[in-house]
Amino acid sequence: MNPKQRVEALVRVAAELRDRASELQFAPEIPWVYNPLEYAWAAHEQYIRMYSGQPCRVFMLGMNPGPWGMAQTGVPFGEVQAAKDWLGISAAIGKPKLEHPKRRIDGLLCPRSEVSGRRLWGLFAKKFKSPQSFFLNHYVANYCPLVFMEESARNLTPDKLPASIRTPLLHVCDAHLASVLELLNPEWVIGVGGFAEQCATRVLARLENLRNTRVGKILHPSPASPAANKDWAGTVTRQLNDLGIW
């Protein structure tokens, strides 16, 4: 498969994920659900087309969009300044069908900065001279495309969802992750946090043609983790060095 074919295939499976995720039902248990692959599709597609042409050596997998990151920009760990200034994302971003008054979507004009995305992309920008040099051997994606919120606007991660709605969600996300991994054929899948590592391990166990792909984990950059607030970049650099990736 040549780079153009790979990009087109990744755009196609992302659109399938967008549509299948939109068909899932979460109410009344989860009152607020955003799908950035709908209202920020143009930015997400731009990210794929700019950076997914080559098979990647290291596939980095996050959990799901943060309210001030991918929810705003359509880019995994999409801290606004990183998405605009380092990744060069410029596509127009719309609004979700139902918008929580405490979680407005301002797109690339959002004044808030997502700490997780700032830490992740900041580390890559420091180590690599350009996005092109980073994406020559790396790719970053999220396992789940949806943002979940309680009525108070408190963020809910997929692992905290009731089993009755989590199970069909995992089925959709597993199928998409399997398709992406088969297209990119990475040497490593690195879970950004334990949940992503578990998802990668589960999906890879079903893929006979990717038996040689290895799974690792790095510390999640969320400020909710005390360990992440103590030299996260240094810790993750050591973790990737110990795995022999960097």
| Residue pLDDT, tens place only, 116-140 | 999 999 999 999 999 999 999 999 9
pLDDT band at 153 (very low <50, low <70, confident <90, very high): very high
The whole-angstrom separation of Cα 42 and Cα 32 is: 22
pLDDT above 80 (res 184): yes
Q: Helix H segments across the chain?
A: 3-23, 36-39, 41-51, 70-73, 80-81, 115-127, 131-135, 163-184, 194-204, 232-242
pLDDT band at 58 (very low <50, low <70, confident <90, very high): very high
Burial (0-12, 13-18, 19+ Cβ within 10 Å), 81: middle
pLDDT above 80 (res 55): no
For 142, phi then psi, to 5°, come to -110, 145
Q: Which of 236, 194, 10, 24 is nearest to 202 (CA)?
A: 194
CB-based contacts of 230: which residues, under 8 Å, 6+ apart?
Answer: none
Mean pLDDT score, 18-47: 96
Per-residue pLDDT of 213-230, as tens digits, reads 999 999 999 999 999 999
Q: Which range of residues forms the domain containing residue 83?
A: 3-242
Q: Which of 62, 37, 34, 58 is nearest to 48 (CA)?
A: 37
* Residue-level pLDDT at 227: 95
The whole-angstrom separation of Cα 94 and Cα 221 is: 27
* Residue-level pLDDT at 27: 85
Q: Which residue has the tokens 């994406």?
A: 135
Cβ–Cβ under 8 Å, residues 100 and 32: yes
Judged by DSSP in three states, 3 sits in: helix
Torsion 56-59-64-65 (CA) sign: negative
The whole-angstrom separation of Cα 216 and Cα 32 is: 32
pTM: 0.96
pLDDT band at 185 (very low <50, low <70, confident <90, very high): very high
Q: Which of 113, 141, 120 is nearest to 48 (CA)?
A: 141
Cβ–Cβ under 8 Å, residues 14 and 45: yes
CATH code at position 134: 3.40.470.10
pLDDT above 90 (res 95): yes
Mean pLDDT score, 176-195: 97
pLDDT band at 1 (very low <50, low <70, confident <90, very high): confident
Mean pLDDT score, 14-39: 96
| Number of domains into which the chain is organized | 1
Q: Which residue has the tokens 């950035």?
A: 36
* Residue-level pLDDT at 54: 80
Per-residue pLDDT of 168-182, as tens digits, reads 999 999 999 999 999
Average pLDDT value for the chain: 96
For 103-124, give one letter per residue: b (16+ CB within 10 A) or e: bebebbebeeebbbbbbbbbbb
Per-residue pLDDT of 199-214, as tens digits, reads 999 999 999 999 999 9
Mean pLDDT score, 78-95: 98
- β-strands 32-34, 147-149 pairing: antiparallel
